[in-house]
Structure 1
Amino acid sequence: MSAALVLQSDFGLSDGAVSAMYGVARSVDSSISIFDLTHDIPPYNIWEASYRLMQTIIYWPEGTIFVSIVDPGVGSDRKSLVVKTDSNHYIVTPDNGTLTHIDHSIGIADAREIDEEVNRLPRSGASHTFHGRDIYAYTGARIASKAISFTEVGPAYRKDSIIKLPLHRARITDGLITGLIDILDIRFGNVWTNISRELFQQLGIEYGDKLKVTIENQSKMIYNHIMSYGRSFADIPVGEPLVYINSIDNIAIAINQDSFARSYDIGTGSNWLLSIQKAPK
C-alpha cells in the first residue's frame, strides 16, 4: 500500500502546474492518494513554505511524503533533497531554507541528495524550470509507492549542510518577552508568533490582564498599544485587539472580527519582532 503524498507550492491553481504534478504522481502509481497542503504560498516566499510544513506535518501519519516546491533558484546549482524527520515523515524539496522550521521544531533524522540523473521524469525534455513536476513530484511519488527506498534517492547529505533561514528563539528579559512574527492566519489577518504558551506563562499573566504590545520591523516601530489577554475572541468587544493562545499553542494577536495584519500592514519573518509585557497599572 502506498503512502500518502502531500503537495505544497507557490504555483496557485489558475493554470495546469499542480494538475501536472498530480498526473506525474498518478503515472508512477495510480493508487497513490494525493492531497494538497496549500498552493497559495506567496511567490518565492521560502519562509512561509517552511512554516506551513511545520504547522501541518505532525498531524499526518508517520511515513507520509511531503513535496514542497517554493523554488526561486530552480535551474541553479542549489541542491535537491529528501529528508526524513524525527517524526518519521519525509520531505522532498530544494535545499533553500524550506526546512528551517522543521529542523528547529521537529528535527531532521537523515538527508539524501536527489540523484537527478536517475530520479527524473522520463522524457521530460531539456526543461530546467519545472523541477516540481520533473523531479520533486516524480521522486516523491516513487518513494510513496515504494518504487524506491529512501536510501535509493541518492547519496547521503550532511544534515549540518542543509540551508537554514535566520530563526531567533523567543526570550524573556526583565519581564519583557520578545519573539518573531512567524506567520499570518491569512484569512482572518491574525498575527502568529513563535512565543510558546509555556514561555508566556512565565510572566504570570492571567486572562483579562492588560498587556503592552509592540511590533518592530528592522528597528522601525510599527505598533505600540495596550490590549487584553483573552481566552477567545468572544472575550473582547468587536473591533478590539487581544492577545490569545492560537491553535498550535503559541501566542497570537488579533482584532475581533477584523484583520490585525491588514490594519497595520504586518509582515512575517526574522525582521518582524513582537514584544509583550504587563501594562503598568
Structure 2
Amino acid sequence: MTRRNVVLQTDFGTSDGAVSAMYGVAISVEPTLRIFDLTHDIPQYNIWEASYRLYQTISYWPEETVFVSVVDPGVGTERRSIAVKTAENQYIITPDNGTLTHIKAEIGIVEARIIDETVNRLPHSGESYTFHGRDVYAYTAARLASGVITFEEVGPEVSVESVIQLQKLEPKVEEGSISGNIDILDIRFGNLWTNIDRTLFKELDVEYGDSFEVTIQNDTRQVYKNIMTYGRSFADSHLGEPLLFVNSLDKLGVAINQGSFAKAYHIETGSKWKISIRKVPKISYN
C-alpha cells in the first residue's frame, strides 16, 4: 500500500488540542503515516499568508506529498472544500478561498476536485460544521496519503479555472523603475520579501553596490522612501543600514542589517502593499 507524507498548515496555533486532534484522525486512518508541520502560526484568517507559505515550502518536498492547509474564515458556509494536484505532482487539500493563489500562479495546478463529504468525512462527525480541518481535511488527506482512496475518489472533478484566486499583482519594469508587491515577511527577522524575481531585477542593469531609491505604499499612501544599497549579503552593509538583497526563493528582499524593517516602518504584506525600486547614482555611508 502507498505511503505518502502528510504536511499540515493552519492558523490554529498549538496552545490547545486542535492540531493534535488532526494528527489523531490521520493516524487513526493509518498508524504508519508520516505527519509533519509546515506551520500553525499563520496569522488568524490570513489567507494570503497561507497561500505564500505553501508556495515557499512545497517544492522542497518529495512528489506525492499531501498538504493540508486550513485557514478558513468561511468554515460552515457554502465555500467549497477542494483537493488539487499540482504540476509538480503534489496534492493540497484546503478550503477553496484563495489559499491556492501562489501555487496556481507560480507552480501550476493540473487537476481539482471537490471533496465528497458523503464518503470522505470522519465517521459520526456529520453534525459538526466548525472543524473541517479535523473532520474533512485531515481525514481525507490521510486516506489519500495511505492509498485508501485514489485522487479520483476524493470527489467530482471541477475546472482548474474555477479555483478561487486572490488579487495578485505582477511585477513590471517601466522607464528604469521596477514595481511589485510585498508578498510576505521573513517573520523572525522582519525582512520584506517581494514578488520581484532576480532575473527581472537584473533588467535594470544592476551590480552589487549599486544604489536604489525604494518607495513603499499601502494602496495610495506612501509609508517609506529612502535610498539603499544592493548587496550580496548583510555583510555588505553597516549595522542599522537598509539593504536590497536576493532571498532564498530568488526574489528581491528588503532588510535592515540586524534590525526588523517591518517593525521599524510598520510594513505589512499582501496585494495592497506595493514597492517600487529605481536606480540612482551610488551613495556611500560614513
- TM-score bracket for the superposition, by shorter chain length: over 0.9
Q: What is the CA–CA distance in structure 1 between the aligned matches of 2:14 and 2:126, rounded to whole Å?
A: 24
Q: What is the CA–CA distance in structure 2 between the aligned matches of 1:68 and 1:117, rounded to whole Å?
A: 21
1:212-252 per-residue CA deviation (whole Å, 9 max, x = no partner) reads 00000011000000000000001111111100000000000
Q: What is the CA–CA distance in structure 2 between the aligned matches of 1:210 and 1:119, rounded to whole Å?
A: 56
Q: Which residue of 1 aligns with 2:10?
A: 9
Q: What is the CA–CA distance in structure 2 between the aligned matches of 1:238 and 1:178, rounded to whole Å?
A: 27
Q: What is the CA–CA distance in structure 2 between the aligned matches of 1:261 and 1:255, rounded to whole Å?
A: 9
Q: Which residue of 2 aligns with 1:215?
A: 216
Alignment of 1:213-252 (within 5 A): 213-252=214-253
Q: Which residue of 1 aligns with 2:142?
A: 141
How big is the shift at 1:123? 1.5
Amino acid at match of 1:79: R
Q: What is the CA–CA distance in structure 1 between the aligned matches of 2:131 and 2:106, rounded to whole Å?
A: 30
Q: Which residue of 1 aligns with 2:152?
A: 151
Amino acid at match of 1:71: D
Amino acid at match of 1:81: I
Q: Which residue of 2 aligns with 1:118?
A: 119
Amino acid at match of 1:106: I
Q: Which residue of 1 aligns with 2:32?
A: 31
Amino acid at match of 1:130: F
Alignment of 1:50-129 (within 5 A): 50-129=51-130
1:46-80 per-residue CA deviation (whole Å, 9 max, x = no partner) reads 00000000000000000000000000000000000
RMSD: 0.7
Q: What is the CA–CA distance in structure 2 between the aligned matches of 1:243 and 1:13, rounded to whole Å?
A: 34
Can you give the 5+ residue segments of structure 2 that lack an aligned partner in the other structure? none
Q: What is the CA–CA distance in structure 1 between the aligned matches of 2:176 and 2:212, rounded to whole Å?
A: 12
Amino acid at match of 1:233: F
Q: Which residue of 2 aligns with 1:188?
A: 189
Q: Which residue of 2 aligns with 1:271?
A: 272
Amino acid at match of 1:264: Y
Can you give the 5+ residue segments of structure 1 that lack an aligned partner in the other structure? none
TM-score (norm 1): 0.99
How big is the shift at 1:5? 0.1
Q: What is the CA–CA distance in structure 2 between the aligned matches of 1:128 and 1:208, rounded to whole Å?
A: 55
Q: Which residue of 2 aligns with 1:46?
A: 47
Partner-residue secondary structure (3-state), 2:158: coil
Across the two proteins, how many residue pairs are aligned to each other? 281
How big is the shift at 1:125? 4.8
Q: Which residue of 2 aligns with 1:197?
A: 198
Partner-residue secondary structure (3-state), 2:62: coil
TM-score (norm 2): 0.97
Amino acid at match of 1:25: A
Amino acid at match of 1:51: Y
How big is the shift at 1:267? 0.5
Partner-residue secondary structure (3-state), 1:51: helix
Partner-residue secondary structure (3-state), 2:271: strand
Q: What is the CA–CA distance in structure 1 between the aligned matches of 2:232 and 2:173, rounded to whole Å?
A: 22
How big is the shift at 1:210? 0.8
How big is the shift at 1:124? 1.9
Runs of 4+ off more than 3 Å: none
